[in-house]
Structure 1
Amino acid sequence: MPFERRLTLDASAAEYVIDVANVVREPALGGERAADLARLSGLLDALAEFTRDPAVQVYAITDRSLLTDGRLTPEERQSLDRWYLEGLLEVLPRADDRILELADALELRVVSADNFLDFHRAYPWIPGNRDRFLRPFLQPDGVIGVRPRIMPVPPEWQVSRKEEEGLLLEAGVYRRWDRSAHRAVLGRDWRCPEADCPLFGAADRPRSTALPRRRKSQVLCPTHGLPLADAGPRPSRAQVKVVMDGTVRGRFMVTAGEPLAVGRAPADGGVVLGAWIDDTEVESVSRTHVMVSYDGTGLSVVDERSANGTWVRRRRPTGDELVPLPHGALWHLRQGDSVVLHERLELLPSGRQFVFEEDPADGTVGPRVSADAAGPTMMAVPWPPGQEPG
C-alpha cells in the first residue's frame, strides 16, 4: 500500500510517533544519499511487519529544516510539503519535545535512535524504560527493521549538558503536557487564527483530532504557537481493529452515540468485513452480525441474531475465556476483551487508555491489548463443547 496512507495526525488513531527527519537523515538505515525519503517508507513497512498490521497508523513529526533540505530531491520535498498541507505531517522548529509530549499524553510508542537525554528530568519514565521505545536498524539483507530498545540511564553530567544544548536550540522549553487534562482537550473542537493551518484551520477544512499544545492555561497550535479558539464539543471516538489469523486486516472508528453495524454486508453505511477477510470466512459472518457502540468511555456490542453466534474473549491471568453472547444481549467490553465472530476472526478494541479505564465493578483488569505490543497476540483457546462456529 502507498506508505503515506499510514501517516495520520489523528490522536485517537495513531499508535506510534516518529521523528521523520531523524529517520530520513540516518545513513545507517541504508542508501547512498545523506537524506533519503525511502528510509521512511522502509521504516513504515518494518512497523507493519512488526505489528502484523499492514495499515499501522503513525503520527509523523519533523523539524522544519527537512522541508528545505537540499539533499532531498525536488519530488521528495514536494511530497513533504503536500503531507504538511494535507494534515498528515506535523512540522515544528524542533521535534524532540513534541514527540515526548505525544508519547506521554497519548502513551504512543516512540520509534527513534535518540536517547532524549535532555528530557530525562521532565519525563522520568524514560531512563531505563524497556517497553516504550523502538529502534530502527538495517538488517543483513539490507531491509530496515525495528526492535525494542532499553533506554540508557546516563550519569547526571550528560543529562545536564544535553539540557543546556536544548535550551540553546530553543529559547525556553514548553511545559510538560498535563495528563489530567488531555481527555478534556481532545474532546473539544479547536480552531487556529491562521485559516490555512493544516491542523486546526478554517471551519470548512476537515476537522483534526491532532493533539494541541498546552502552556500554563493556554491551548496552543503546535504549528503556529498561537492560542486556539474553542469551537465546541467534539464527539469522542474509539478505534476497533479487524484481526484475522492474528494479523490486523483493517480498522474502523466508532463515534460516541452512533451505533455501527458490522458484518458481511450491513446496510446503511455499516462496516463491510468482506473487504478485509477471506471469502471462505465471509460466509460464516452474518449480513449484520453485531452492532458496536461507544458511550465516550467504553465500547459495547450486541449480537444481531447472527447465524453462527458471537463470543467475547476475556483475557485472564490464568488463560483466555470464551463467553457466548446471547442474541440481543448487550455486552460492555472491558479492557482486554475482544469480540469473536469466527474462530479466525476477531474485533479487537484499541488498548489506548483514553478509550478504556479500569473496570470498577470487580477491580480486575486483563492484560493490556494494544499496538504497544508487538502485534495483537491471539492465544489458541478451545471452543466450548457444542459451540464451535459453523
Structure 2
Amino acid sequence: MEHHLAASAERADYLVELSNVVRQTSIGPRGPRSLRRLGLVLRALMELTGDPDVSVYLVADTSLLGGHREFGDPDEVRRLRRWVADGLVEEVGDADERILELARMTGTRVVTGDQYVDHRGEHPWIQGNTWQFLRPEPRPDQRVALVPMDMGVRTEAEISRRMELSALKKQGLLGPSRTPLTDVIMRAWSCPEPRCTLYDLHRGDRILLPRIRRGVPTCELHGVRLTDVGVRPAGAQLKVVIDGGCVARYTLDEGSEAYVGRLPGPEGIALHSLLSPEIAARVSRRHVAVSARGGTVLCRDVSSYGTRMRHAGRRGGPGPWEKLPPGADRPFRPGDEVELAPGVVLTRSGRRFPAELADAWRAEAARTPVPPTAAAPTRRV
C-alpha cells in the first residue's frame, strides 16, 4: 500500500480520514480496527479513477494508535507506526478538523463516513455539499464502493447539539452507550491551584467542563483533581433576528423573566431602535414574556397584535407556524422561533441550560446506535 501514500496533501489525489476508515466495521474483516480496510478503499479508488497509481494523503487521530490493542494483527500496528514515523500519516489530536482544513484549502475529495455536523459552524461550505465527500460502502463481493455523500443542510440548533456532544466526548464525559455523565456536567468545579481560572464561574472568561481521567474530574492545565463547589448556574441566550439577520443577543439567567417588545421598560428588551417605524407600529410595548424556570425556557404572548411560534423540526427544517394562545407559557427550545411581526423573530441560540443539555444528549444517543462490534466508551482519555 505504501506506494499509494503521499507525503503531502498537495501531492495527493484524495484525502483519507484514516481513523474513520480503520474503525468502519461495516467493511473488511471483523474487529474494532483493521488496516486492511484501507487496502479495500485503495482498490475502490483505483477502480473509480482507472489509475493504478492513485495517491492518498492520510490523516489520523492520535487515539487511533492509542487504542492499538483493538487491532487484531500486531503487524498492522507496527506498520502504522512506521508510516507515522516516515511522514506518510499525519497524526493529529483532531483528524476531523485537519481533514476539513485541507479539504477547504485544496478542494481535494475526502474519503470518510463522517457527516461533520459538529464542524459546520466553522466550515459552512460543508452545508449542501454533494460532491467532495465519498463514503466507503460494502459490496456483495466483499469489496468496497465509494459513494458520494449528500451532506445536506443542518440547522443551527442541530449543529450546536452535535458540537456539544463532541465536546463531551473529547472531555471523557460520555459514559456507556454515549450517554452524558450528567452528575459531573451539572456541577460547578474549582481547581485547587489558586491562580487557575479555567473553571471559576466568577473569575474566568471561558468556563471549561472538567476532563475525566481515570474516572476523576481533573484540571485540564494542572492535572489535579477538581473540587465540587455546587450546582452549575444555568444560562441561555436569546437572539433578535430581523429580515434574516441577527442584530442583537441577550442573556437570560435561571429564575428571571424578561419582557420583549417595542418599549417594555427598564428590565425588558427594547426593540424600538432596531425596527423601522412601520414595523415598530405592529409590535406591542410588551409583546412577549420570556422566562427561565427549573432549567427550561418559556415564552408567553402578552401582546395586543398576536404572536406566532414554530419549533425546530427533527429533520433540520422548521415546523409550521402556530399562533400562541395569549397568556399561556410555551416551551422555547434552541432553534425555535417566535415571530413578533413580519420579519421580526426572537430565537434561541444553540446554548442550552444543563437540564436541556441532558435531555438533548440522551435523545442524540438514542438516535445514534452503537455498532454491535464496537466497544463501549470508557471514561479514560
TM-score scaled to structure 2, two decimals? 0.47
| Greater fraction of residues in helix | 2
